[in-house]
Amino acid sequence: MAPLVVGFDLDMTLIDSRPGIIATLDALGSETGVAIDAALVVSRLGPKLEEEMANWYPAEHVDTASDRFRELYTDLGVPGCSLLPGAIDSVDAIATAGGRTVVVTAKYEPNARKCLEHVGLEVDVVVGWRWGPGKATTLTEHGAAVYVGDTTSDMAAARTAGALAVGVPTGPHPAEELRGAGADVVLDSLHGFPNWFADWSRTG
């Protein structure tokens, strides 16, 4: 039998990336002379970076600003990442059950890998630069049975991929919004994932 595959979003699902993003945005704003409200940006993480940059830069500068953000993030953003409570135990629970863990994130993949390395979280597969329907396609390609995320678009991606949608309100969306977006299960945080996963594995 093929191993059970569980997918996870990265930012605000497995890691708290807000301090590093704020530091990177502050540096980018200072370098380009643009006043970016970093606190506002991290309050709505989830969309593609270029979509966020379009709120602060003219259309002709969005791609350049986005690329520069990714460059700065390597030195400023990665060190600002920290594990969210329950992340290690959740990944360990899947490994103990003989399953595989796939991280599917909108983050630039090299930076996603650096963040995971920085916080010491080992997963089986990392796929970056995926958002919206792209996440669903990747989950389908990897045969994910479950996808865990913190945004309404994560829930939609899981449903489109035929995976169980598990929401955690550790990001910008409260539990009721995740349920409204199609979450099959909403946990208070990843602290509750290992017990839920054990029960689901036995009965699901």
Write down the pLDDT at residue 204: 62
Domain boundaries along the sequence of the chain? 5-16+82-203, 18-80
* Partners of 146 in beta bridges: 6, 164
Task: Decide: 182 and 149 in contact? Cβ < 8 Å.
Answer: no
Alpha-carbon gap, residue 13 to 55, rounded angstroms: 24
DSSP state at residue 190? G
Contact yes or no for 149/104 (Cβ under 8 A)? no
Q: Which fold has domain 5-16+82-203?
A: Rossmann fold (3.40.50)
For residue 170, give the nearest of 38, 20, 7, 46 by alpha carbon.
Answer: 46
Task: Give the integer Cα–Cα distance in Å for 92 and 25.
Answer: 33
Backbone dihedral region of 57: left (phi > 0), alpha (psi from -120 to 50 degrees) or beta?
beta
pLDDT at 202: 85
Q: Give the pLDDT score at 31.
A: 98
pLDDT at 24: 98
- How many CB atoms are closer than 10 A to CB 122? 11
The two structure tokens encoding residue 139 = 């989950």
What gap in Å lies between CA 114 and CA 52, rounded to an integer? Answer: 22
Per the listing, tokens 């994560």 go with 154
CA distance 183 to 194: 18
- Can you list the residues of the chain whose pLDDT is less than 70? 1, 204
CA–CA gap between residue 39 and residue 22 (Å, rounded)? 7
CB atoms within 10 A of CB 80: 19
Angle at 102 between CA 8 and CA 186, to 5 degrees: 25
